[in-house]
Amino acid sequence: MRIERFPVPREALREALLNALVHRDYMVPAPVQIRLYDNRLIVWNPAVLPEGWTTHTLLVPHASQPHNPDLANTFFRAGEIEAWGRGIARIFSACRLAGSPDPELKFEGGGFWMHFAFDEAYLRLITPEVTPEVTPEVTPEVTPEVTRLLLAIRGDMSRAELMTALALKDEKHFRKNYQQAAVALGFVEMTIPNKPRSRLQRYRLTAAGKSHLRTIRE
């Protein structure tokens, strides 16, 4: 009898997707993204952490503060989640039970990233004669709108200042095609990531954005 082995434990992946749907920021139109590589799988969703929280807070026992409590309650009543605040713990437990590496959590650029590295045993199954190597990250395609935004940013700038610098009047068009696209790529970050709608919110280039901007200019 053949026993199927998954690169990411099924229960861990299920919890990661439920977590992305329950806790995502629905003010951001960018969809939940799943990126599959030869040696890892990444789940990303736009998110806002409660004030004062970091990814370390998620790794220790913590109070439940879902970003979408009504949606969390719906999933709970449907039997899809056991209890609020237990999703991350269940993901780590499922990975350890399957002998898979612990996932890596990141919160940057207005998004929450969960990296699942494939364990060595699985990599040997799919490439028995080849020593697994880290697949280099493929740089996502950058739209002309994102490039224009990177060239326009000077230090910390508000949305109104950026729209003026770009000579844009349609706020919805700017938010979707410029601001959110650049944030999703990790090129631009918010100065107050835990309060995305704050009147004091400003936007600035990340290290990745500055590096890409140097490449453009060269």
Angle at alpha carbon of residue 183, lines to 133 and 68, rounded to 5°? 100
Residue 135 within a domain: no
Per-residue pLDDT tens for 176-213? 999 988 988 889 999 998 888 888 999 999 998 898 88
Q: 186: domain range?
A: 144-217
Q: Is residue 136 part of a domain?
A: no
Q: How many CA atoms lie within 13 A of 159 on its CB side?
A: 19
Give the residue from 126, 154, 189 where a domain finishes.
Answer: 126
Q: Which residues contact 1 (CB under 8 A, 6 or more apart)?
A: none
Question: Strand 40-46 vs strand 104-108: parallel, antiparallel, or unpaired?
Answer: unpaired
119 and 73 in one domain?
yes
Residues of the chain with pLDDT under 50: 1-2, 130
Instruction: Residue 21: give its domain's CATH number.
Output: 3.30.565.60
**pLDDT at residue 23 in the model:** 85
Report the 10 Å Cβ neighbour count for 65. 15
* Domain-located, residue 3: no
- For residue 203, the model assigns a pLDDT of 94
CA-to-CA distance for 164 and 166, rounded, in angstroms?
5
168 in the same domain as 82: no
pLDDT of residue 1: 44
- Examine the domain organization and report whether 50 and 113 are in the same domain: yes
Do 27 and 55 belong together in one domain? yes
Q: How many domains does the chain fold into? A: 2
Both 22 and 120 in one domain: the answer is yes
User: Could you tell me the maximum CA-CA distance found in the chain, to the nearest angstrom?
Assistant: 66
Tell which of 57, 92, 126 closes a domain.
Answer: 126
Residues 107 and 38 in one domain: yes
Same domain, 105 and 161: no
Give the number of other CB atoms < 10 A from CB of residue 161.
Answer: 16
Angstrom CA distances, 12 to 21, 22, 29, 36, 92, stand at 14, 15, 25, 15, 7
In a domain, 106, yes or no: yes
106 and 22 co-located in one domain: yes
- The CATH number covering residue 194 comes to 1.10.10.10
Q: Are residues 56 and 162 in the same domain?
A: no
Q: Is residue 153 part of a domain?
A: yes
